[in-house]
């Protein structure tokens, strides 16, 4: 599917918040260091993946782990919750799925709760998830996140935006550095309830994909970040009000 670039939807959110109280300066959240997590069993010097400008072909991986959320979160993979709220996530409501309530905070207006992370592998990687989510309000988001520090992330997933040139309910890939949107915001319309989301790292380049037919990976967009990633994981955030939730079937971490 052809992709388009759009004015960063989250910059609009920040501007709206700033304009709501004339002459005021929004309070800045306290920034804490990311907690240490054990290294995953990946090679330190993987072979690079081939670069593609269109759809990403399937790749044979020499190192791969998958968290299935079958009644537990595997302790051996080093998972850590950032700003955990035990009442806002569950593994029992839908067996085999991790349900996370959509946080009302996001990386442009605070620090979201219940971000599930583990160490980013060294070198190139390919991370994937399956998310069940039908966003309907600005700027609900659920999907994958790559953290570079507490306020700098890449996030790719299902989201909603009906401002400006936003496509509404669809697939988005945002680059948020030091609390500000950087580069293009990528959005592609798509109403799928259950979607596969993927972020591929090749050096300093990150490409996000989505899949709705279990066959074809479609490009959402690409960003370049020079800073080394610290953590990777799952994010459900940016809800205008409490009550929405997203469910994740798995998260898979691969290296070639």
Q: What ranges do the domains of the chain cover?
A: 4-18+60-255
On whether the CB atoms of residues 196 and 129 are closer than 8 A, the answer is: yes
Residue 198's DSSP bridge partners are: 128, 209
Quick one: average pLDDT of 32-39?
39
Interval 93-128: pLDDT, tens: 999 999 999 999 999 888 999 999 999 999 999 999
Quick one: average pLDDT of 179-189?
89
Asked if pLDDT for residue 141 goes beyond 60, the answer is: yes
- For residue 57, what pLDDT is reported? 52
* Strand residues in the chain grouped as ranges (E): 4-6, 63-67, 80-82, 89-90, 98-101, 115-119, 125-132, 141-149, 152-161, 168-177, 180-181, 185-189, 194-202, 205-211, 218-224, 231-237, 245-255
Report the first-to-last Cα separation within the chain, whole angstroms: 26
Asked if pLDDT for residue 140 goes beyond 50, the answer is: yes
More confident residue, 10 or 250: 250
Interval 49-100: pLDDT, tens: 333 334 555 566 779 999 999 999 998 889 999 999 999 999 999 999 999 9
Which of these ranges, 32-46, 66-80, 186-200, has the smallest mean pLDDT?
Answer: 32-46
More confident residue, 223 or 39: 223
Asked if pLDDT for residue 143 goes beyond 70, the answer is: yes
More confident residue, 183 or 54: 183
Q: Residue 8 has what DSSP assignment?
A: -
More confident residue, 47 or 115: 115
Quick one: average pLDDT of 156-178?
93
* Strand residues in 162-228 grouped as ranges (E): 168-177, 180-181, 185-189, 194-202, 205-211, 218-224
- For residue 3, what pLDDT is reported? 43
Asked if pLDDT for residue 255 goes beyond 70, the answer is: yes
Residue 21 Rama label (left phi>0; alpha psi -120 to 50; beta): beta
Tokens standing for residue 76: 């051996």
Asked if pLDDT for residue 28 goes beyond 60, the answer is: no
On whether the CB atoms of residues 247 and 96 are closer than 8 A, the answer is: no
Q: Hey, is 200 helix, strand or coil?
A: strand
On whether the CB atoms of residues 180 and 108 are closer than 8 A, the answer is: yes
The topology under which CATH files domain 4-18+60-255 is Jelly Rolls (2.60.120)
- Buried b or exposed e, range 200-224, using 16+ CB within 10 angstroms: bbbeeebbbbbbbeeeebbbbbbbe
Question: Whole-angstrom Cα distance, residue 233 to residue 129?
Answer: 9
Question: Whole-angstrom Cα distance, residue 177 to residue 198?
Answer: 20
Question: Whole-angstrom Cα distance, residue 160 to residue 171?
Answer: 8
Quick one: average pLDDT of 153-177?
94
Question: Whole-angstrom Cα distance, residue 109 to residue 91?
Answer: 28
């Amino acid at each position: 599917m052809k992709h388009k670039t759009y004015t960063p939807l989250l910059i609009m959110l920040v501007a709206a918040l700033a304009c709501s109280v004339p002459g005021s300066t929004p309070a800045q959240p306290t920034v804490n260091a990311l907690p240490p997590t054990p290294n995953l069993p990946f090679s330190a010097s993987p072979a690079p993946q081939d670069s593609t400008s269109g759809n990403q072909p399937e790749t044979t991986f020499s190192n791969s782990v998958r968290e299935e959320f079958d009644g537990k979160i595997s302790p051996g993979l080093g998972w850590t919750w950032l700003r955990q709220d035990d009442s806002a996530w569950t593994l029992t409501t839908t067996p085999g799925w991790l349900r996370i309530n959509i946080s009302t905070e996001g990386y442009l207006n605070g620090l979201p709760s219940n971000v599930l992370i583990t160490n980013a592998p060294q070198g190139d990687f390919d991370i994937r998830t399956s998310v069940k989510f039908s966003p309907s309000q600005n700027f609900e988001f659920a999907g994958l996140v790559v953290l570079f520090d507490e306020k700098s992330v890449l996030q790719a997933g299902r989201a909603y935006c009906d401002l400006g040139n936003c496509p509404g309910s669809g697939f988005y890939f945002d680059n948020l550095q030091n609390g500000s949107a950087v580069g293009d915001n990528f959005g592609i319309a798509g109403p799928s309830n259950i979607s596969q989301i993927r972020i591929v790292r090749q050096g300093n380049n990150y490409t996000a994909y989505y899949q709705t037919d279990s066959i074809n990976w479609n490009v959402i967009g690409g960003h370049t970040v020079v800073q080394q990633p610290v953590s990777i994981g799952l994010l459900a955030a940016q809800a205008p009000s409490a009550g929405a939730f997203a469910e994740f079937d798995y998260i898979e971490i691969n290296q070639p």
